[in-house]
Each structure stands twice: as structure tokens, then as C-alpha cells.
């Protein structure tokens, strides 16, 4: 059964995209979504939006692009050294511009604990959410992280390398409360919560939220913890997927350096069979984990079709939006001229034709 991978990353312009696409095709993927990252100091860039334009230019029928705002710089929320010039558009204006360029949606990591800079429901963000709602662009929203990341006694071994939170970080409950307020204030804004909103062990509450918020969707991209939560719930998890088959999407979190094939194979095995099995060994962010094994929930074909392709097509579109090449080039030129800008816009322009 074909699949749309709704969660793919790239690190930089020289990543061998053809190799990544070959692995996606091997996993049964027909189309995939590139989720841009922002404020990528470790990658030497401000945002990956220019890379998204290039992907859409080269793969107009295959790649959906979710843009992002380098909001730390744009709104002056943190004292970073590379401030943009005064002509930089606001987040609302950027949404308008990038909608004209042809992006398919928006990606936000403002709710990730180490990226948290202001309340997710802050009035400063009202125009941003309102413009996404007006233009019909879905928001792919990373809010929180697995609950065990706040507890050193429970955190899995693979997560100790990067994520251990404490009192200096906002709590998961705090972040969820603000995000749910956004859903209430913007009821027509389609919001896809990354990694199942970290509700894998709270399926009863997840069901309540989906019944309350008709604009809320959940993404199955690991976060491996959700699959152990589903396994612990046994029959209840399968009933949840049957009831909310129209509200669930799938993604791999794959990249050139994180092979999507074993991840998608794991997800398919979980959804399609009743097997008991471990996550792929040797795959970052999945292993080792003392909660293994997991057990599949063996969903019927009509439910699988919705989760694999139908829901994404209904929420985002049955094909990527067309790229406005003139508008994209103009934005690349503007970005390449901004004082203290990163080299990515110029690199993309060099590869455009």
C-alpha cells in the first residue's frame, strides 16, 4: 500500500537527496514532506526555507514543503548576534509571501522545551496563526517532548545524549495547555501535532481532545515511546485508531543520516500485523529502550489507506502546490543580500538553473 511520508529532514544543500528518495521509494513512499528547520546555528544557516524552494523546484510532483520562521531573529525574542535588517518581514508577512511562493504548510518548533522563547498563545503570535488559518496552510507543530525526558530515572538510554529537562524548562503540561489554547482560538487552523503530541500513554485524553478540537490531528512519527504506550493499552489502542482513523498521519523523521526504510517498515509492521517485535536496532532515537518489545494492532485496509495517504491529502493537498519560480527567486535574492545572512540562499541560486 502506498504511503506519504509526512516528516522528512535534510541537513544541508549537499545532502544526496537521490539516495534518500531511493530509500523512501523502497519503503513504498510515493510523496514526502520536507519539514524545514530554523535558527540552525549548528548547520551554519538561519533557516532551511531556501533548501525547501530548491526541493520543490526539482521535485514538483513529489515533495511537499513546510516552511518555518526564524522567529528568534525575526521577533527579537533572544539576544542573538545576527539580527536581520529592519526591512525583514514579520512572521505574518512571511506567511503571506511564502504562500505566494507555493509552500504547502508551516513547521513550528516553538513548543520544543529548549526552543521555547515565549508563550505559544502569546498575543505576538496572533497575526501569524490567523494568517495561516486564513490562507488554509496547515501547521505542523512540535509541542513538548516525551514525558520521561523530564525524569532522569525514566529517560531511555538513547535520549541521554541530547535531552534531559529540569525546572529551567517549561513542563509538558504547560506547553500543552498553551497549544490547546491556540486550537481553541483558531478553530479553522489545521494543526498536526508532531509525535502524537506525546500522548501515547494517554489515549483516553487524546480521544477527548480529538472530539473537542475538530482541527487537531496526530502524527505517528517516532517518538518511539508512543508505540510502547499503544502496546501497553492493548485492545484500547486498536479501538482508538479505528475511531480516529481520519485524524492520524504517518512520517519517518528520516534523513540522509537516518535511514527512513527501517523506521517505516517498523510503523507498517505495527499498524498492519499483530506481531511482537523490537524497534530497529542501531537506528538513532529508537534503540536501546528497556520498554521493548512492542505489539502490532493489525488495522484493516480502509483504515490503513487513510493513515498512509488519505488524511495527508485531505489536510495538505493531493499534490504539492505549484512553485512560483519568480517569487522564489526574488526571495532568494533578498535573503542573499541581508546583512549577516548565511550562505544558503546564494548556494541555492547557484544551483537553480
Label each residue of 80-146 as H, E or C: CCCCCCCCCCCHHHHHHHHHHHCCCEEEEEEECHHHCCCCCCCHHHHHHHHHHHHHCCCEEEEECCC
Average pLDDT for 173-186: 96
pLDDT reported for residue 83: 46
Q: Residue 28 in 3-state DSSP?
A: coil
Better pLDDT: 284 or 96 = 96
**Rounded to an integer, what distance in angstroms lies between the CA atom of residue 287 and that of residue 192?**
26
What is the CB-side half-sphere exposure of residue 35 using CA atoms within 13 A?
21
Ranges 6-15, 66-75, 110-119, 184-193, most confident: 184-193
The cell for 206 is 487524546
pLDDT of residue 342: 76
Name residue, grid cell 520536507.
34
Residues 6+ apart with CB under 8 A from 286: 158, 222, 224, 263, 266, 279, 280
- Sign of the CA dihedral 180, 122, 163, 263? positive
Q: What is the pLDDT of residue 80?
A: 41
Q: Residue range 92-99: average pLDDT?
A: 93
65 with 33: CB under 8 angstroms? yes
Q: How far apart are CA 285 and CA 288, in angstroms?
A: 8
Mark out the alpha helices in the chain (DSSP H runs).
17-26, 49-58, 71-74, 91-101, 126-135, 172-185, 203-212, 225-233, 235-243, 260-272, 301-305, 311-315, 325-337, 344-350
Domains of the chain: 3-350 (3.20.20.140)
Highest mean pLDDT among 100-114, 141-155, 237-251: 237-251
Cα Rg of the chain (Å, integer): 19
* pLDDT tens-digit map of 265-294: 999 999 999 999 999 998 777 888 888 899
Inform me whether the pLDDT recorded for 196 exceeds 90: yes
- What count of other Cβ atoms lies within 10 Å of the Cβ of residue 274? 11
What mean pLDDT is predicted for residues 133-153?
Answer: 90
CA 144 to chain centroid, in Å, comes to 12
Cβ neighbors of 109 (< 8 A, separation 6 or more) are 37, 38, 68, 115, 142
pLDDT for 341: 63
Amino acid at each position: 500500500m502506498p504511503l506519504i511520508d509526512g516528516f522528512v529532514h535534510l541537513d544541508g544543500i549537499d545532502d544526496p537527496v537521490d539516495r534518500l528518495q531511493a530509500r523512501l521509494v523502497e519503503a513504498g513512499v510515493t510523496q514526502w514532506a520536507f519539514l524545514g528547520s530554523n535558527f540552525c546555528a549548528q548547520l551554519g544557516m538561519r533557516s532551511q526555507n531556501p533548501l525547501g524552494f530548491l526541493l520543490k523546484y526539482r521535485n514538483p510532483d513529489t515533495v511537499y514543503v513546510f516552511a518555518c520562521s526564524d522567529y528568534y531573529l525575526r521577533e527579537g525574542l533572544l539576544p542573538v548576534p545576527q539580527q536581520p535588517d529592519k526591512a525583514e518581514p514579520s512572521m505574518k508577512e512571511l506567511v503571506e509571501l511564502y504562500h505566494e511562493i507555493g509552500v504547502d504548510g508551516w513547521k513550528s518548533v516553538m513548543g520544543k522545551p529548549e526552543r521555547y522563547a515565549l508563550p505559544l498563545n502569546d498575543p505576538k503570535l496572533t497575526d501569524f496563526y490567523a494568517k495561516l488559518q486564513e490562507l488554509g496552510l496547515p501547521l505542523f507543530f512540535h509541542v513538548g517532548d516525551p514525558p520521561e525526558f523530564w525524569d532522569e530515572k525514566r529517560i531511555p538510554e538513547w535520549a541521554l545524549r541530547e535531552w534531559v529537562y529540569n525546572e529551567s524548562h517549561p513542563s509538558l503540561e504547560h506547553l500543552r495547555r498553551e497549544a490547546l489554547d491556540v486550537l481553541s482560538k483558531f478553530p479553522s487552523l489545521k494543526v498536526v501535532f508532531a509525535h502524537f503530541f506525546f500522548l501515547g500513554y494517554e489515549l483516553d485524553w487524546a480521544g477527548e481532545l480529538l472530539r473537542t478540537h475538530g482541527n487537531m490531528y496526530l502524527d505517528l512519527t517516532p517518538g518511539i515511546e508512543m508505540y510502547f504506550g499503544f502496546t501497553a493499552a492493548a485492545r484500547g489502542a486498536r479501538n482508538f485508531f479505528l475511531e480516529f482513523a481520519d485524524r492520524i498521519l504517518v512520517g519517518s523523521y528520516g534523513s540522509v543520516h537516518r535511514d527512513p526504510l527501517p523506521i517505516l517498515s517498523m510503523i507498517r509492521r505495527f499498524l498492519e500485523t499483530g506481531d511482537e517485535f523490537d524497534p530497529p536496532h542501531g537506528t538513532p532515537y529508537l534503540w536501546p529502550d528497556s520498554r521493548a518489545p512492542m505489539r502490532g494492532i493489525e488495522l484493516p485496509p480502509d483504515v490503513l489507506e487513510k493513515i498512509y495517504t488519505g488524511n495527508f491529502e485531505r489536510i495538505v493537498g493531493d499534490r504539492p502546490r505549484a512553485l512560483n519560480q519568480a517569487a522564489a527567486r526574488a526571495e532568494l535574492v533578498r535573503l542573499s543580500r541581508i546583512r549577516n545572512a548565511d550562505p544558503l540562499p546564494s548556494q541555492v541560486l547557484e544551483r537553480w538553473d
